[in-house]
A and B are shown apart, each in its own frame.
Chain A
Amino acid sequence: MAESPITTHDPKNEEQGPVSPSPQQKKEMEQNYAQMKRKMSMQEIGMKIKHKIMVLSGKGGVGKSTVSTGLALSLAQQGHKVGILDIDITGPNVPKMMGLDGHKLHVEQGRIHPAKGHLGVKVISMAFLLDDPDTPVVWRGPIKLGAIQQFIGDVEWGNLDYLIIDFPPGTSDEPLTVSQSLPNIDGMVIVTTPQAVALLDSRKSITFAESLKVPVLGVVENMSGYTINGVTAANSSVEIAGPGGKTIKSTSDENGNFSVTLDIFKKGGGKSTAEDFGVPFLGALPFDPGFVRGGDDGVHKIVSDPEGASSIAFSAIVKAVQAQISDKPASSLEII
């Protein structure tokens, strides 16, 4: 437009009024500047956090938040620095599971500081924004995607080995926004229960993940089976009336201990879905009423029972995830 930065007499310019920006222009410039700063800070966050893992499911209530918090805690048990980002605006339940119910957002010099939950895991949740009179309205309602971007850009995570991102169910915009904002996401863990409806939906999420250019790290089958332990006479047979009128048989050992596993839903669907799609199966989590209690009283099952079956299942899943995100070459494929 202007050939020279030096203003000479130019009638066209005079018609357009003064050279200094209008309030509208000024506002735009400020917005652009804030946008740019945010983008830079997201790049920086991207570099300070070694691994970023999204946790999604097709259906709601299948255990995303249970798996997200479980992965985070299991990684923390291994000695990693871990953060968890709860993107769920409508029903954020991560704080409760991490013993941070009622926690409020901590802002210092324009930066958001995460709360510290069990095992030192850093937590940021949309729940921290709710019911707070000082919370700017901009965080809520229809511009939630902007809020998410702002959220990601403004959090002071520090250096992390892992960031786990928990999503709300049944939507598609949040993962898209996050995958576009945060550079180098390692991939997505898809949670399903073994019911056919949940499996069908998890197939859709696998396709969805790929359309976002986020690799699928694998499928976790949650609420896979319920194990009952009991004591009876030594070396005797036990019969339990299982779901669907099926009789489940077991025998006790020489001390009289026995255990039977009830498949509350049909078992193995997570594995076959993964196989159908050629994505990894990361493992199964048993049905464990302790997760529900832990969610209610704020002490996660992994914290209250670090040696229990569920903790062991989680560490196996963590190992499977880590195998997927290691830098080893993918296969013996020759590319020339």
Chain B
Amino acid sequence: MAEQMPTLVRIERRESDFHLTYDNEEEFSVTYHDLRHACPCANCSPLRNEDETSLKLREQVESFKLHKPSVNPVGHYALNFIWQNGCSNGIFRFERIWALANRRDPDNGKPYVHGAW
């Protein structure tokens, strides 16, 4: 948690993944499938709570034809990806993208609870 996150400076959309470059010159790739499976929206997130539904979500995501999404900045802190099919709702905080780049669980192992105030 205390780790300092570098700033994402470049996103290259490739055939099946993003190539990410950070300002400390580290480079990563995140596949479109991995990113879409980690969608933080209220519809997709609860599906990751159980292995079975998580697997279903994965299968669904992998069933979509691969294509380059459009990428829209959200404020100064997140990105939103628009796909031709399936869910485009998730707002991906840069922290989430950083976790995915580093192959860490972006949900930090915590189940999703809708509107848990």
Give the bracket for the number of chain B residues in contact with chain A. Answer: 20 to 34
Q: Which residues of A contact B112 (CB under 8 A)?
A: 211
Interchain CB contact (< 8 A) of B71 among A170, A171, A208, A335: A335
- Decide yes or no: A211 and B117 within 8 Å by CB, A330-B74, A334-B9 being known contacts: no
User: Mask for B78-95, Cβ within 8 A of A = 1, else 0?
Assistant: 101000000001110111
Which of A211, A213, A330 has most chain B Cβ within 10 Å? A211
Q: Which residues of B contact A277 (CB under 8 A)?
A: 77, 93, 95
- Decide yes or no: A187 and B10 within 8 Å by CB, A204-B116, A208-B117 being known contacts: no
- Decide yes or no: A324 and B75 within 8 Å by CB, A205-B117, A213-B41 being known contacts: yes
B22: min CB distance to chain A, Å: 11
Tell me if B91 and A213 are in contact (CB < 8 A): yes
User: Mask for B87-110, Cβ within 8 A of A = 1, else 0?
Assistant: 001110111000000000000000
By beta carbon, the residue of chain A nearest B23 is A332
> How many residue-residue contacts, CB under 8 A, span A and B?
88
Q: Which residues of A contact B13 (CB under 8 A)?
A: 335-336
User: Mask for A236-250, Cβ within 8 A of B = 1, else 0?
Assistant: 000000000000000
Instruction: Please report the C-alpha to C-alpha distance between residue A171 and residue B117 in the assembled complex, in whole angstroms.
Output: 7
Residues of A within 8 A of B (CB): 58-59, 169-173, 175-176, 187, 201, 204-205, 207-208, 210-213, 215-217, 277-280, 324, 329-336
14 contacting pairs across A/B (C-beta < 8 A) = A170-B117, A172-B116, A207-B40, A210-B40, A211-B45, A213-B90, A277-B93, A330-B73, A330-B75, A331-B76, A333-B10, A334-B9, A335-B11, A336-B12
